[in-house]
Structure 1
Amino acid sequence: MTAISVLDLVPVRSDQTTADAVAATLALARVADELGARRYWVAEHHNMPAVAATNAPLLMSLIAAATSRVRVGSGGVMLPNHSPLVVAEQVALLEAAFPGRVDVGIGRAPGSDPVTSHLLRRGASGDGVDTFDDDVAALAALVRPEGVDVRVGSTSYPLRATPRATSAPQLWLLGSSTYSAQLAGRLGLPYVFAHHFAGRGTAEAVALYRSTFQPSDALPEPRTIAVANVAVAPTADEARRLVLPQVRTMWRLRSGLPLEAQELVEDAEAAPLPAAADEGVAALTASWVVGDPASAAAELRELAGRIGADEVMVAPVAGATRGTPADASPARERTLRLLADALA
């Protein structure tokens, strides 16, 4: 494993506007492109004060335009929130504009609170999970250049996501459970396990995916990515310091507390979590890779080998210190640079 890939939630710090956060993401994407990263993916989350990644295809277009080589993708589009045809139209147009550079990671989680999810789905009954398998299959068909033919009565109605496509984006199935692993295997799609979110069951899910994989036109052999939260600095102590804001954000999320913009490192240090949180924080961060370049590279190689992942994608979670330019995230950029050097 020498090439790195990146997952970006487009975090919003307490010293940033949304515009600043997007500018920092574009700068990080340019660094990833410069370093020869294989992929740069963005998430889909809604109504969260610390996350600006609300619309993955729109962010993908900005990132693709700002870079030249890296594959851009979604990690992921939460398909229950959207019509498969709308997603197909968005990503087919991106593939037409940036041929051979578009990935579409598909997930079935809501990516938000119940009220926001209800509004996203325009009050539709159900949570979209019941139709998820069929929706994934429909999306896979719709993004093909030839599209699909829909029967309307006795008439065959051609349906194309974009009129004259010459290539298709690559679909990936995302998940943190055995359900998604089996579905990806059955449909013959590449699979991404959210190791950064679940932390457990990664090896089992990947093994299940490989054992149930059925070759498809899109993919003759199984292919997997594992995602890990990563913060790298010249020393392990500095890396642990820089990760404090993300730790506090995740602790608040898991504890059901109100969310807020991500703190600066100094603010996180000035308000330590209660001692009672130690056990929960240890469990939460057990799968994170936080340290100096050599140890971080070794951990990622060990992770890939242990679970049999073809690729590892890193979510850079190093925070910012006071005085950092609002439109930049130098600690996240340094994580990628140091890791790329250590993996070379």
Structure 2
Amino acid sequence: MKEQINGIQQLGVGVENFHEAWKWYRKHFAMDIRMFEEEATAELMLAHTDGKPRKRHAVLALNMQGGGGFEIWQHTGKKPTPCPFDLNLGDLGINIGKIKTADIQAAYDKFKASKLNILTPITKDPSGNDHFFLKDIYQNIWEFKTKKEVFRKKEKSVSGGVIGAIIGVKNMEESLPVYQDILSYDQIVYDKTGQFEDFKGLPGGDKTFRRVLLKHSDVKQGAFSPFFGQSVIELVEAQDYEPRDIYEGRIWGDPGFIHLCFDINGMDAFREKAKKLGHPFTVDSAKAMESFDMGEAAGNFAYIQAPEGTLIEFVETHKIPILKKIGWYIDFRKRGHHPLPDYVLKLFRFMRVKDRQKK
């Protein structure tokens, strides 16, 4: 099977307190659909966990407006290690998660009323798209970006799921081939260097950067593509200061943005493509077992590491739950990987986790 990117499945978010963090993201970002939740040991990630298996608690949470989800992830076998220094825009790795909103003003007003830490007013990015930035209580920065496509319009939330990330790179020309050639972000929306008004208000955002925004030129055709939608990657290279590695002295799963995960088909083809382009898999579950069991879901996963250090995950899904109560699962090894009907994807709403409202 030829390699195929279907969309961003999730952005990994390492936390210090799993239950507290997921509740916060449910309340404020409507990440309340539980695709799977599992307490287990990460035994295959040795290349990124100092060579030791690591106990963890993780959930894949989605938002019914569509877009990628959050993989909320906590070390349980060791104390999570926060970043020991204040992060600045352009530091190496995933700086900011991009989240879509169909109504930028409503999102801004709601977060302001909730007394969240909004870093910038609503401004325009270099392509003219409205956006603003917010820092959550765990020191992660999120960009809320206008995108009118909503998967399930009846949702009350003011924002949807993940549509990309801002990634700090050390050398733009070294990092671009990973995103353009391996991840197939083949279209440059803008490539600009300077100081940017929309970055002012971000830590280190008043400095000079080269910014490159990438997107796919094609329409994705995987099973979940109607839900994930289109995505973008923005690479930023600091021009007048020396950036630091966000995970310097720490391991995968420690607090912060730990990886960016893509739903794919054709794991064997991706393995060969990545190797040929000089970025062989650092983790490869298919070499260890036929299908990796994630509790209520199953599939194969692999990782590559971009030159700036960003961990990029590929997941080829074999099985997912649709209606757990009646035992309805879809096995894609039998069904194939063409897009699922919208009515099936909308059944995800029955996996919503509801919090009790205080009286």
TM-score, with length taken from structure 1: 0.30
Q: Determine which structure has greater relative contact order: mean sequence separation of CA pairs < 8 Å that are 6+ residues apart, divided by chain length.
A: 2
TM-score (structure 2 length as normaliser): 0.29
Q: Whose strand proportion is higher, 1 or 2?
A: 2
Which structure features the higher share of helix residues? 1
Max Rg structure:
1
